[in-house]
Amino acid sequence: MNAVVIAIAVMFILSLARVSVVLTLVISAIIGGLVAGLSLSDTVTAFNAGLGDGAEVALAYAVLGAFALALSKSGLPDLLAYKLIGLLGMEATQKQATKVKFLLLGILLIAAICSQNLIPVHIAFIPVLVPPLLKVMNHLKLDRRAAACVLTLGLVGTYIFLPVGFGAIFLEQILMGNINKIGAAYHLHVERSMMPMGMAIPVLGMVIGTLFAVFVSYRKPRIYVDRNVAPITTIDLDKPLRAVNVEVLKADGIALEQEAKQEAPVIAKKTILMALLAIILTLISQLYSGSMILDWQVKVGGSVIAPTQDTKVAGVGTVKADHEYAFTPSVEYIFGETPFSAEVLLATPISHDVKLDGEKAVNLKHLPPTVTFKYNFKNSTRFTPYIGVGGTAFLAWDEESSGALAGTKVKVKDDFGFAGQIGFNFQPADAKNWGVFFDARYAQLSPEVTVKAGNTTAAKFDLDIDPVIYTLGYSYRF
């Protein structure tokens, strides 16, 4: 029997059985090739060669979309949403709301950027990550058009500028390939390194447009209605759909806080480990197949944490965090031949003293995970200066009171804020991969502190820390 007829018949049967489109295409092609007498490797080669323009990319999107759906089943996106809801308690101030707003936009931007290279799921992450965050957006009265602009910048701006992941497909295979193909008749030829520079102007326009959208066009509060969408089984066309009109949506902080505590998903450690393992294996498979450029840098350093602010609390005194020292390893990913990179600070737990009028009053432990996007000023010397901006977190636990606060219960709330970075890398003349670095980071942090004597709240205030972190260390680039 004709191999083409058999392949089409198999595809038809699998489609009726509602098998995934991707699996249907692959299975049908393999069966058709084997029936025609081709080996498995020859069948796969012929299948890839037969894909039309853009079909290979579409097939990759479909497979990675399934990967994103699997991650959503782990419950991690819902857990993230409830953590953000928990930050908006009954007594949330305007400062806290603004901080959570920009934290949320930052999460969307980082997720969009990483979806093009590190975890290449492209737009498949949107239906996974965004729906759980809608309630947070509603409570913040965040205009969703601003969130859409941020997502667009992260998605489109990344793949039209950085030649990594999907950016490599667009810039090298589609854009550069067609330019060189058509330009050959006119002796026009472009190199890989030219592509990011050529796309820098439109990307800069996107950045300016996004900033204008967030801070001007869509900065005003916008009211949305929280409601559960019931499944529709029948539609009466004689009765038009009606929406509930609400002029003002009151911020119900108590309900949100209770929901964050009671309905937040409890995820087993095994599930979290398996989700992280899936992400790591995805990265490894890209590196093994050559679909991602391997350009990592590991840094190991020692840091001095120097708070720059103190807090004067009426009836209590002056509260200030003390200087501390920490071991601060970090991992940096360099985006191909561009001057851009992303660095994640993975500091070990830090024990910190908080003083009241110069005397030790509280000791606590905290983690300061920080993500910054950096611009490296490449030049002909061995010094490479860099600057970076991003976000940081203050995750506190194990608070112990002493001195003037002995006998009280002190709780320090988790906090998130802006982070800035400036520094330089130095590579000695005889070094191939290693070097030394020095940088200074600024973190905008003001965690909420609650002091209780029994069941009575004795004091509640924002502890202004805003530390500068000075780090000296060793770097190794793979």
Average pLDDT, the chain: 79
pLDDT at residue 99, as a whole number? 76
Within 13 Å of residue 245, how many CA atoms lie on the same side as its CB? 2
Q: How far apart are CA 112 and CA 156, in angstroms?
A: 9
327's enclosing H/E stretch is strand 324-327
Q: How far apart are CA 207 and CA 117, in angstroms?
A: 19
pLDDT at residue 73, as a whole number? 64
Token couple for 37: 């007498």
Determine the longest span between alpha carbons in the chain, in angstroms: 92
pLDDT at residue 169, as a whole number? 78
pLDDT at residue 232, as a whole number? 38
Contact present, 466 and 443 (Cβ < 8 Å)? yes
pLDDT at residue 231, as a whole number? 43
Q: How far apart are CA 176 and CA 182, in angstroms?
A: 10
| Residue 207 binned pLDDT confidence (cut-offs 50, 70, 90) | very high
Contact present, 224 and 137 (Cβ < 8 Å)? yes
pLDDT at residue 248, as a whole number? 36
Question: Which domains, ranges and CATH numbers included, belong to the chain?
Answer: 1-50 (no CATH), 67-225+250-293 (no CATH), 295-477 (2.40.160.20)
Tokens 């890398």 correspond to 425
pLDDT at residue 240 is higher than 60: no
The region of weakest confidence among 201-215, 292-306, 341-355, 431-445 is 292-306
**Residue bearing the bigger pLDDT, 274 or 177:** 177
C-alpha distances out from residue 406 to 403, 460, 463, Å: 5, 16, 19
Report pLDDT digits (tens) over 247-305: 333 344 445 555 555 555 566 666 666 766 766 676 666 555 555 545 778 899 999 99
pLDDT at residue 391 is higher than 70: yes
pLDDT at residue 274, as a whole number? 72
3-class DSSP state for residue 89?
Answer: coil
Report pLDDT digits (tens) over 69-89: 666 666 666 666 666 666 555
Numbers of helices and strands, H then E, in the chain: 14, 16
Token couple for 237: 């066309």
pLDDT at residue 386, as a whole number? 97
Amino acid (one-letter) located at 225: V
Q: How far apart are CA 349 and CA 251, in angstroms?
A: 35
pLDDT at residue 265, as a whole number? 56
**Residue bearing the bigger pLDDT, 316 or 226:** 316
pLDDT at residue 217 is higher than 90: yes
How large a percentage of the chain has pLDDT more than 90?
Answer: 22
How large a percentage of the chain has pLDDT more than 70?
Answer: 74
pLDDT at residue 236, as a whole number? 39
Report pLDDT digits (tens) over 95-149: 667 777 888 898 889 888 888 776 666 777 787 778 878 877 887 889 999 999 9
**pTM listed for this prediction:** 0.60
pLDDT at residue 245, as a whole number? 35
Token couple for 275: 């989700």
